[in-house]
Structure 1
Amino acid sequence: MLGMSLREAAAALRCGQLNPIELYQKCLSLIKETRFLNAYINVAEDVALRQATEAEKRFRQGKPLGELDGIPVAVKDNFSTANIETTCASQMLKGYIPPYNATVVQKLLDQGAVLMGKTNLDEFGMGSGSTDSIFGPVKNPWSYSKQYREKNSGSRTIADDDSDWVIAGGSSGGSAVAVSSGTCFVALGSDTGGSTRNPASHCGVVGLKPTYGLVSRHGLIPLVNSMDVPGILARCVDDVATVLGVLAGHDPLDSTTIQDPFQTFTLPDDIDVTNLCVGIPKEYHAPGLSTETLSLWSRTADLLEDAGAKVVEVSLPHTRYSIVCYHVLCTAEVASNMARFDGLEYGHRANVEDSTEAMYSATRREGFNDVVRGRILSGNFFLLKQNYEKYFLKAQKVRRLIADDFVKVFKSGVDVLLTPTTLGDAAPYEDFIQEDNRTRSAQEDVFTQCANMAGVPAITVPAGLSSRGLPLGLQFIGQAFREQQLLSVAKWFEKQMNFCPLDFYKHLENRDICQRKSNIASLL
């Protein structure tokens, strides 16, 4: 039942082969069984049961709301959800219950989706491993594959030593794990510099960052307003296309969304790539790129060429400046956005009454972790009067050059770009936390953040397993508002790879032992 795609489950619900309540119960049972993965911050058990019961009544009456009616979904915990706690995995917002739904959440519910819960993330979305959450780090379910254990733990079982697990990627790691582990059919993430595509790649699922302005940001607690985009994580490209059709379109509550109506589309089963021109950016041969990822990238280019596509090398010359540029612009907007959390209107407030300034200082010191405070300080430095032109304004000019590189490449006749998503497979947790957050984010986001600065759509598709038995993904970058073409290419590639996101369950042993002995506190 849980191995179906979203479209298969929706069809089974419509013809009566599946019952929404039974489907909800299966997902809830699996959430509890895999609680050691720490994917969920808040499981909306009662809310989901009520929604599943209402869906069951609609199906009985022959009046389903839409394609998602009765389908279990999950939402990253930086999207506002009415009457459900929204924390951004931060002490600052712990206990905050929004009075409204984010537009994308409301659109899912309007289609009859069943909200299983809110997923874990790096605090306020600032990270690339889902390791910096006040609720503890997210575990990658592929950590427990037979291949990985044999390679790294010898004859030991999971319960003997649970310290070898690998990161889920971030910052939407909880959403990626929720989909990868089968506890929901689709999940919402957010993507500012790769936060949907990075964990999707590490967890073996499909992750889409739509064109900036195609999907509403209303109700997404902002990190970087000029780059934030709601992302979609699912098991296959068809499911991503289905959800995009639900979410895309103008929102009067978000002035950055496009005015033109979005034309929904269904991807064909037989996709022809013979007239396709695929660009390979030479600048994406970055230092630290694993030999396995490089080999997979090269083989995929050959595969496309053998199928009749034209594969050409292209240049995005300003890519080498993108990480530094991204850091300046990101922290500057973070400093501005985080200023609203002052302890006065909502969120955490320190018990300090000496003065207003002392209360501000104590509140932000207690409410934010070191990563958030560090980015705020960096952003304020770049925005100082004497630094504004030297750093922020110059970074904006470089961003325009980066965006222009994409425009020139696509105008030259290239349809899509093919790149790695990450440097390699998921890093072991113990190795990952040895580096500071900024260094790790720069390494993990090297291939992804350019698309955010240019505003173009990008999707990662699982392509295979590394020698450690961990997923590897490749990224396709498309032209602005050409999601149909981008997803068509992604589906063609997905069909060639024939990768199953739930394959790790074939090798998952001793799950009940691991669940009992896990040292990650259960939040369910």
Structure 2
Amino acid sequence: MLRVSLREISAALKEGRVSPTELCQRCLSFIKATKFLNAYITIAEDTALKQAEESEERYRRGQILGDLDGIPVAVKDNFNTAGIETTCASNMLKGYIPPYSATVVQKLLDQGAVLLGKTNLDEFAMGSGSTDGIFGPVRNPWSYSRQYREKSVQNSHIENEDSNWLVTGGSSGGSAAAVSSFTCFAALGSDTGGSTRNPAAHCGVVGLKPTYGLISRHGLIPLVNSMDVPGILTRCVDDAAIVLGVLAGHDPKDSTTVQDPFKPFELTSFIDASKLCIGIPKEYHAPGLSSETLALWSKAADLFENAGAKVIEVSLPHTRYSIVCYHVLCTAEVASNMARFDGLEYGHRSSMDKSTEVMYAATRREGFNDVVRGRILSGNYFLLKQNYETYFIKAQKVRRLIANDFVNVFRNGIDVLLTPTTLSDTIPYVEFIKEDNRTRSAQDDIFTQAANMAGLPAITVPTALSEKGLPIGLQFIGRAFQEQQLLTVAKWFENQVKFPMIQLQGMMDHGHTICHHQKSAFFS
């Protein structure tokens, strides 16, 4: 029941083959059974069961609200949820109960979706591993897959299971793990520089970052206002299109959303690939790109070419400045956004109240971890009067050049760009933490953050298993507000590669789930 797609379970609900309450109970039971993954911060069991009962009553009356009615979903814990704690995985907001829900959350609820709980993340979404929140790191479900364990034992990758589990990527790792491990049918993440696509690739699921301005950011606790976009994580491209159809559209509460009406679409089962023009950015042959990922990228290009598509090497010449530019702009906006957490109105307040200045300093020292404080300090340095022109203004100019590179490529007839999502498959936690957060983020977001700076839609599609038996995803970047074309191409690709779904085989004595996969024949 939990392994089918969102579309399939929606059909089962409509046909009465399963009830919303039964489905909700199954998901809640499986969340508890996979608690060791640490995917969830808050499990809203009572709320979810009440919502499921209300959905069941609507089904009885024949008054269902839409395709999401009765569908269990999860939400990253940096989206406000009325009456449910929202922490951003930080001591600064621990215990904060928002009085309202983010627009995207409310849209899900208005369609009858059942909110199971809030998922884990890096503190304030600052990270690429989902390892730096106060509730502990998220474990990748593929750590316990039969293929990874068999391959790892053969090649001595696993010596001690507890110390060699794999990271999910971040910062939306909890949402990616929740979808990958079948505890929900869709989840919301946020994507500022790759925070939805990165963990989606490492967890073997689909991760969509829509065009900036297509989906409301109201109620998403901001990291970088000019780049933040709510992201969608699902098991297949069709499901991502369904959720996008619910979330997209103008929001009067968010002035950055476009006012053009959005018409939900269904993806066609047939696409004439011979009419496509696929761009391969030569600058994405980046240092550190694994030979396996490079080989899959090349095979994917061949797949399109063999289907009659035109595959062209293109140039995005300012890509090499992208990471540095992103760091300056990101930290500058972080410094501005984090200023609101002063201990006065909401969130943590220090007991040290000798003076206002002492209280401010102590509150922020106690409330923020080293990563957040480090980004605040960097941002304030870049925004100093004597540094403003040298760093912030220059970075904004470089951002425009990066965006113009994409404009020029698409103007020359390219339909979508095909790139890697990450440098390689994921790695064990003990290896991941050898590098600091800043270095890891620069490495892991190398292929993803340029799309955020240009405001373009991008999607990662799980493509194949590595030699270690772990997922590798490839990314498609599309034209602004051309989600239908982007997702249509992604669905065609998904149908060709037939990435294997995790098949749960039962529980080990100490509670770890064993997942079984069949490797895709196309890429074997």
* CA pair 54-346 structure 1, distance change in 2 beyond 3 A: same
Q: 3-state SS of the aligned residue for 1:312?
A: strand
Q: CA deviation at 1:61?
A: 0.8
Q: CA deviation at 1:150?
A: 2.7
Task: Note if 1:177 corresponds to 2:177.
Answer: yes
The unaligned stretches of length 5 or more in structure 2 are 514-524
Which residue is equivalent to 2:488? 488
**Two-structure CA RMSD over aligned residues (Å):** 1.5
Aligned-partner residue type, residue 471 of structure 1 = P
Which residue is equivalent to 1:3? 3
Which residue is equivalent to 2:241? 241
Which residue is equivalent to 2:67? 67
Q: CA deviation at 1:161?
A: 3.2
Q: 3-state SS of the aligned residue for 2:473?
A: strand
Aligned-partner residue type, residue 90 of structure 1 = S
Matched residues, number: 513
Which residue is equivalent to 1:502? 502
Q: CA deviation at 1:147?
A: 2.4
Contact residue 329 and residue 392 of structure 2 kept, 8 A? yes
Aligned-partner residue type, residue 80 of structure 1 = N
Q: Give the Cα–Cα distance (whole angstroms) in 1 for the partners of residues 207 and 22 of structure 2.
A: 27
Contact residue 39 and residue 178 of structure 1 kept, 8 A? yes
Equivalent positions of 1:131-142 (< 5 A) are 131-142=131-142
Q: Give the Cα–Cα distance (whole angstroms) in 2 for the partners of residues 513 and 392 of structure 1.
A: 49
Equivalent positions of 1:319-358 (< 5 A) are 319-358=319-358
Which residue is equivalent to 1:388? 388
Q: 3-state SS of the aligned residue for 1:474?
A: strand
Aligned-partner residue type, residue 161 of structure 1 = E
Which residue is equivalent to 1:280? 280
Which residue is equivalent to 1:452? 452
Q: 3-state SS of the aligned residue for 2:225?
A: coil
Q: 3-state SS of the aligned residue for 1:230?
A: strand
Q: Give the Cα–Cα distance (whole angstroms) in 2 for the partners of residues 455 and 511 of structure 1.
A: 47
Contact residue 34 and residue 511 of structure 2 kept, 8 A? no
* CA pair 413-154 structure 1, distance change in 2 beyond 3 A: closer
Aligned-partner residue type, residue 316 of structure 1 = L
Q: Give the Cα–Cα distance (whole angstroms) in 2 for the partners of residues 195 and 443 of structure 1.
A: 13
Q: Give the Cα–Cα distance (whole angstroms) in 2 for the partners of residues 339 and 22 of structure 1.
A: 45
Which residue is equivalent to 2:519? none
Please list the CA deviations of residues 387-445 of structure 1 after superposition, one character each: whole Å capped at 9, or x if unmatched. Answer: 00000000000000000000000000000000000000011100100100000000000
Q: CA deviation at 1:494?
A: 0.4
Contact residue 129 and residue 167 of structure 2 kept, 8 A? yes
* CA pair 158-299 structure 1, distance change in 2 beyond 3 A: closer
Q: 3-state SS of the aligned residue for 1:162?
A: helix
Q: 3-state SS of the aligned residue for 1:424?
A: coil
Q: Give the Cα–Cα distance (whole angstroms) in 1 for the partners of residues 196 and 284 of structure 2.
A: 19
Which residue is equivalent to 2:40? 40
Q: Relative to structure 2, which stretch is displaced further, 138-147 or 322-331?
A: 138-147
User: What's the TM-score once normalised by structure 2's chain length?
Assistant: 0.96
Q: Give the Cα–Cα distance (whole angstroms) in 1 for the partners of residues 82 and 327 of structure 2.
A: 33
Aligned-partner residue type, residue 99 of structure 2 = P
Contact residue 278 and residue 417 of structure 1 kept, 8 A? yes
Identity of aligned residues (%): 75
Which residue is equivalent to 1:205? 205
* CA pair 157-416 structure 1, distance change in 2 beyond 3 A: closer
Q: Give the Cα–Cα distance (whole angstroms) in 1 for the partners of residues 507 and 148 of structure 2.
A: 12
Which residue is equivalent to 1:472? 472
Please list the CA deviations of residues 97-118 of structure 1 after superposition, one character each: whole Å capped at 9, or x if unmatched. Answer: 0000000000000000000000
Please list the CA deviations of residues 284-311 of structure 1 after superposition, one character each: whole Å capped at 9, or x if unmatched. Answer: 0000000000000000000000001100
Q: Give the Cα–Cα distance (whole angstroms) in 1 for the partners of residues 160 and 236 of structure 2.
A: 34
Q: Relative to structure 2, which stretch is displaced further, 142-151 or 398-407?
A: 142-151
Please list the CA deviations of residues 149-174 of structure 1 after superposition, one character each: whole Å capped at 9, or x if unmatched. Answer: 23334599999631111100100000
Q: Give the Cα–Cα distance (whole angstroms) in 2 for the partners of residues 221 and 429 of structure 1.
A: 27
Q: CA deviation at 1:514?
A: 3.6
Contact residue 399 and residue 453 of structure 1 kept, 8 A? yes
Equivalent positions of 1:137-156 (< 5 A) are 137-153=137-153
Aligned-partner residue type, residue 166 of structure 1 = L
Q: Give the Cα–Cα distance (whole angstroms) in 2 for the partners of residues 230 and 161 of structure 1.
A: 34
Q: Which structure ranks higher in relative contact order (CA pairs < 8 Å, sequence separation ≥ 6)?
A: 1
Contact residue 316 and residue 402 of structure 2 kept, 8 A? yes
User: What's the TM-score once normalised by structure 1's chain length?
Assistant: 0.96
Q: Give the Cα–Cα distance (whole angstroms) in 1 for the partners of residues 284 and 368 of structure 2.
A: 34
Contact residue 144 and residue 158 of structure 1 kept, 8 A? no
Q: Give the Cα–Cα distance (whole angstroms) in 1 for the partners of residues 359 and 286 of structure 2.
A: 45
Q: Give the Cα–Cα distance (whole angstroms) in 2 for the partners of residues 171 and 426 of structure 1.
A: 14
Q: CA deviation at 1:512?
A: 4.3
Please list the CA deviations of residues 420-475 of structure 1 after superposition, one character each: whole Å capped at 9, or x if unmatched. Answer: 00000011100100100000000000000000000000000000101111100000
Q: 3-state SS of the aligned residue for 1:427?
A: coil
Q: 3-state SS of the aligned residue for 2:313?
A: strand
Please list the CA deviations of residues 218-239 of structure 1 after superposition, one character each: whole Å capped at 9, or x if unmatched. Answer: 0000000000000000000000
Q: CA deviation at 1:502?
A: 2.1
Equivalent positions of 1:8-407 (< 5 A) are 8-153=8-153, 161-407=161-407
